[in-house]
Structure 1
Amino acid sequence: MFSARYLVAAVLAGTATVGSASIAPAKDGALTTSGLPVPRFVSLKSDHVNVRVGPTKDNDVSYIYTRSSLPVEITAEFENWRRIRDSEGAEGWVYHSLLSGRRTAVVIAKVKDDLTPLYDRADPTSAIAARLEPGVLATVRRCSGSWCRISGSGFDGWIEQQRLWGVYPDEKLD
């Protein structure tokens, strides 16, 4: 049997072996066991997601997410497990069925406690539809590479893409 510390350290260092299977972080854009590229953004499907120190149910739970739809980034895969990272940099392993392909994002500010403008159109000269606090959770409707249309509880509009955690710089989504 392997130790969780060994496994996590080995994966972060480059490779690890569990039984006859090898775990290796995928290089940007590489395909993995799911057939999807890593890294990629997804969201939490449930309001109770156990995050483990390694990719099995035998590993300890390091923390629990209690917010459904929170965006996370998949950074590695091992069988049906996904290593994820959140907007604060916390990492761990979750079972794949607890994740959704639905794209969401969290608003980030230039300066702490700054309100971020949400515009009527993808144009900074258009009317401001709302001002969003850092940490506001939104559904990503589409992104042009520099602007994203987002919506959430009581708001819908366009935001500069760099003001979101949950989409990559220059990423385009339809």
Structure 2
Amino acid sequence: MGMGVLSLLAGHDAARAQAEVKTPYWASIQKDEAFARAGPMATYQIEWVFRRKHLPVKVIKRYGVWRQIVDPSGWSGWMHANMLSRKRTAIVTGLVIAIRAEPQDAARLMWRAEPGVVGELGDCEKGWCEFAVDKRAGWVRQDQIWGAGEP
């Protein structure tokens, strides 16, 4: 009996912690297909269908289980919270970028990533961020990706 109550309380704490998250914050799409609507209810029309799992988005408003998101292009719509993850990702913007072995321009070039490549975001420091695509990781300049820094 004690375990059931304990797990119920843990679930309640997790829900409360989720409810206390301040906007704006970074999130990522966690489904292969995610619908964005004109407003924060299922009765609003679907305006966009995202088919980019792990795409970074910025959550700018909350309304119940709905989140108003902004995508990397600046487009905004409403998405159900279960379509989103707090997993931090980033997308390459602008030009082909260099992924370096260390957080500095002179570091060894590991590989390059073209605009639109999405990767998992690690720690950021002094204008550089850890960035991993599949099993390959390295460092990128923070100003060359969208999804890092303050939302």
> Which TM-score band (shorter chain)?
0.7 to 0.9
CA distance in 1, matches of 2:60, 2:39: 13
Letter in 2 for 1:155: R
Larger relative contact order (C-alpha < 8 A, sep ≥ 6)?
2
TM-score (norm 1): 0.73
Residue 71 of structure 1 is matched in structure 2 by 56
Within a 5 Å distance, the mapping from 1:32-43 to structure 2 comes to: 34-43=19-28
CA distance in 1, matches of 2:19, 2:46: 23
Letter in 2 for 1:56: M
CA distance in 1, matches of 2:135, 2:115: 16
Residue 90 of structure 2 is matched in structure 1 by 105
SS of corresponding position for 1:37: coil
Quote the RMSD (CA, aligned, Å): 1.6
Residue 142 of structure 1 is matched in structure 2 by 123
Q: Which residues of structure 2 form unaligned runs of 5+?
A: 1-17
Residue 80 of structure 1 is matched in structure 2 by 65
Q: Does 1:116 align with 2:97?
A: yes
Residues matched between the structures, number: 134
Q: Which residues of structure 1 form unaligned runs of 5+?
A: 1-32
CA distance in 2, matches of 1:145, 1:97: 33
SS of corresponding position for 1:38: coil
Aligned-pair CA distance for 1:154: 5.5
Aligned-pair CA distance for 1:97: 1.1
Runs of 4+ in 1 over 2 A off after TM superposition: none
Aligned-pair CA distance for 1:155: 2.8
